[in-house]
Chain A
Amino acid sequence: MSFINYASREINCKIVYYGPGLCGKTTNLQYVYQRTAPGAKGKMISLATETERTLFFDFLPLALGEIRGFKTRFHLYTVPGQVFYDASRKLILKGVDGVVFVADSQEERMDANVESQDNLRINLKEQGYDLDKLPYVVQYNKRDLPNVVSIEELRKELNLTNVPEYEACATTGEGVFETLKSVAKLILIDLKKGK
């Protein structure tokens, strides 16, 4: 739920990166963090285990600039991807304005992708959101690996509603900003409609 502050002329929006364990959600945020000018970003916070698996969430605040005199900020969150952290995932979806689903393109992770996407839909519904009405984009990550599924097949399994989709390799940054820009744009268009 975006927060509009007329007093400080700011607008804040929340983007959540969702997807199965080890699909590259944190890597997406890390790349954005590395490639953003110091003045436009805050500290990146990672609540992770000792083995660097996300425990609760990663958080990265970004200030994109001004629109009509309003400072536009995006707060990027990731969820913990591992199945048993479902309670935490639900909490992070609270107040979401836009969702990025990061899919792992590797063949052996297809079941995990589908399961995670179903879980996203269910958890959103519990909070009163409908995924089909939210700003939502899909990212096919890890396209650089040898054992990947074709885009056609990924689309058939993971993008039935035909939302914007991007091929990516989060470790090198390919497709990372395209994905972020796309979801941010959808959120702003939604705001424009006054939703």
Chain B
Amino acid sequence: MSTQQMVMYDEEFQEINAVIERLLKEANAKVIFLVDKNGQLISGVGDTERFDTTSLASLTAGNIAATGGLAKLIGEKEFSILFHEGEKDNLHISIVGGRVILVVLFDTRSSLGLVRLRVKKCSEELSSIFGKLLQKAEDKEKRGVSDFPFAEITDDDIDNLFS
């Protein structure tokens, strides 16, 4: 497999949520999402109920992938920040630690400048948490420790999903 499997543990999940909760307040944003580059939603805070988060995650990843493709065509590695301006709501999308996408949705109660500033600050924190997470997964693999929930599933378990 080309990249390592993404694994999220309780401890880091809490840490990540604390960081984006704080960002939500400091940037005066409505909603914040963290999305894996493959389109899987990692976490979301704020007014998430109002949005189809799964679709949002998938389209954001598609968006990042498409602009990444554009970047390569013109000789750039990637475009690390995207900004979409709407009539009321805006989206600020940025890549954190090369692997994760941070999506901030905000309206006129905030501004692009404020969001950019706050995002930049918390990106470093997030990046180090994700680095730790990756390290943790690698260490576990090296030591041969497997707390993998699927190691003991039976064929019956799988068949039951489709019954």
Contact = CB atoms under 8 A, between A and B. Distances in A.
Interface of A: 1-8, 11-12, 14, 42-43, 45, 47, 56-57, 59, 61, 64-65, 67-70, 72, 75, 87-88, 90-92, 94-95, 127-129, 181, 184-185, 188-189, 191-192, 194-195
Given A4-B7, A56-B66, A129 B1 contact: yes
Interface stretch (B18-26, B104-112, B122-130, B143-151): B143-151
Nearest to A14: B38
Given A1-B3, A68-B152, A189 B158 contact: yes
A1 B152 contact: no
User: In terms of DSSP, what is the predominant structure of the interface of chain A?
Assistant: mixed
6 contacts: A3-B7, A7-B9, A12-B40, A68-B152, A95-B36, A192-B150
A42 B42 CA distance: 17
A14 B1 CA distance: 14
B10 interface: yes
A174 to B, nearest CB: 17
A3 B38 contact: yes
A109 to B, nearest CB: 27
B161 A67 contact: yes
Contacts of B4: 1
A3 B6 CA distance: 5
B117 interface: no
A185 B4 CA distance: 21
Contacts of B150: 11, 67-68, 70, 188, 191-192, 194
Contact of A68 (B10, B58, B69, B153): B153
Contact of B1 (A1, A5, A65, A181): A1
B161 A195 contact: no
A91 B152 CA distance: 33
Contacts of B65: 91-92, 94
Contacts of A127: 2
A76 B82 CA distance: 26
A188 B7 contact: no
Nearest to B7: A4
A90 B13 CA distance: 31
A121 to B, nearest CB: 15
A57 B62 contact: yes
A185 B156 CA distance: 11
A159 B146 CA distance: 35
A177 to B, nearest CB: 8
